[in-house]
């Protein structure tokens, strides 16, 4: 999955901003017998597959020649819905130690760098986002270890690549259902009572949308237990949640409910044990009118949910 690849890259426009216990003792190690080193491999590196689409292959070659580097990820799409495909690719600039996004127009004009990773993050990938008759492209950056991740969103408008969102925390993905999720990271999946600290790396999803000018977040209203119980199928949803958690060890289960303005319901389900330790997590479901779909979306995800998880403007 692309999210897993991304967990293994912030950006700026190239020409304008568009970023103590005792240690046990062990017996001395025994000398290993001398062995001859393995011979160095003489096999040539395998070439990267050439795209089947000849136009994509042509633009990929143009971009790599212009950048002087191999594209690590790329998309070839009709970005503005005019019937012609354009190309965006990302490569690593060894001189600046940054990742760069390059754009090639479908008319065969020269390619140009349009975005740069100003933080030198470890990995970078591109994600196509359906937008009307065309596409926007999310540039997802991430460090190999830790919670630092950034995204930007590029669009083609009036023949120019523009940056709709620039260097905001998280990574952006398009789901099979057509939702655009923004994944943000933290260390908030569990509470250790003895040490009084939070731990466990988490990746939590909120939802965003394009309002015709920029991207905004679907904010969430927190429902009381009484408000949630008035929703049709609320009891069935809770029964499914508790069935999903049947193998977890806990003393009590506490709920909180976050209803986003796009109809996504995220039910926070925190598991407490007798020592005061807490496992934080949530389930996701869909809400329509006065009823909730008891069919859960995915599994219990570690982390603490909130009304807003992003730095984008939220619409409630």
CA dist 281 and 302 (Å) reads 4
Burial of 85 (0-12, 13-18, 19+ CB in 10 A): middle
Nearest of 218, 110, 202, 67 to residue 147 by alpha carbon: 202
Q: What is the pLDDT of residue 143?
A: 87
Query: What is the model's pLDDT at position 298?
Result: 86
Integer Cα distance of 237 and 194 in angstroms:
33
In the chain, where the domains are located: 1-17+53-174, 175-316
Task: Decide: 124 and 141 in contact? Cβ < 8 Å.
Answer: yes
Q: How confident is the model at residue 48, as a pLDDT?
A: 60
User: What pLDDT score does 49 carry?
Assistant: 63
SS3 66: helix
* Pairwise CA distance, residues 188 & 280, whole Å: 7
CB 291 within 8 A of CB 229: no
Distance (Å, whole) CA 134 – CA 233: 38
In the chain, the largest separation of any two C-alpha atoms, in whole Å, equals 74
Residue numbers in the chain where pLDDT is lower than 50: 1-17, 19-45
**Distance, CA of 222 to chain centre:** 24
Q: Which of 164, 162, 166, 158 is nearest to 141 (CA)?
A: 166
* 145-152: long-range pairs with CB below 8 Å, 24+: 147/185, 147/186, 147/187, 147/201, 148/119, 148/121, 148/185, 149/6, 149/121, 149/183, 149/184, 149/185, 150/9, 150/10, 150/11, 150/19, 150/119, 150/121, 151/182, 152/10, 152/11, 152/18, 152/19, 152/115
């Amino acid at each position: 999955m692309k999210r897993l690849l991304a967990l293994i890259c912030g950006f700026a426009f190239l020409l304008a901003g568009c970023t103590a216990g005792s240690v046990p003792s062990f017996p001395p190690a025994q000398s290993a017998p001398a062995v001859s080193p393995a011979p160095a491999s003489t096999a040539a590196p395998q070439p990267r597959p050439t795209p089947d689409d000849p136009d994509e292959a042509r633009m990929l070659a143009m971009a790599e020649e212009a950048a002087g580097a191999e594209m690590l990820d790329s998309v070839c799409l009709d970005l503005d819905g005019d019937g012609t495909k354009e190309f965006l690719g990302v490569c690593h600039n060894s001189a600046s130690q940054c990742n760069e996004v390059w754009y090639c127009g479908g008319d065969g004009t020269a390619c140009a760098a349009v975005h740069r990773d100003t933080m030198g993050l470890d990995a970078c990938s591109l994600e196509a986002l359906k937008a009307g008759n065309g596409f926007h492209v999310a540039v997802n950056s991430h460090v190999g270890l830790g919670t630092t991740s950034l995204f930007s969103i590029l669009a083609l408008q009036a023949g120019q690549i523009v940056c709709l969102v620039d260097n905001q925390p998280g990574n952006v993905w398009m789901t099979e259902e057509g939702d655009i999720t923004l994944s943000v990271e933290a260390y908030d999946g569990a509470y250790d009572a003895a040490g009084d600290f939070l731990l466990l790396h988490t990746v939590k999803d909120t939802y965003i949308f394009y309002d015709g000018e920029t991207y905004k977040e679907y904010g969430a209203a927190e429902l009381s237990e009484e408000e949630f119980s008035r929703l049709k199928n609320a009891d069935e949803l809770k029964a499914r949640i508790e069935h999903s958690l049947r193998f977890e060890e806990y003393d009590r289960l506490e709920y909180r409910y976050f209803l986003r303005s796009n109809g996504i319901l995220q039910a926070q389900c925190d598991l407490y044990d007798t020592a005061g330790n807490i496992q934080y997590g949530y389930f996701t479901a869909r809400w329509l009118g006065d009823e909730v779909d008891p069919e859960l979306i995915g599994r219990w995800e570690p982390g603490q949910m909130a009304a807003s998880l992003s730095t984008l403007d939220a619409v409630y």
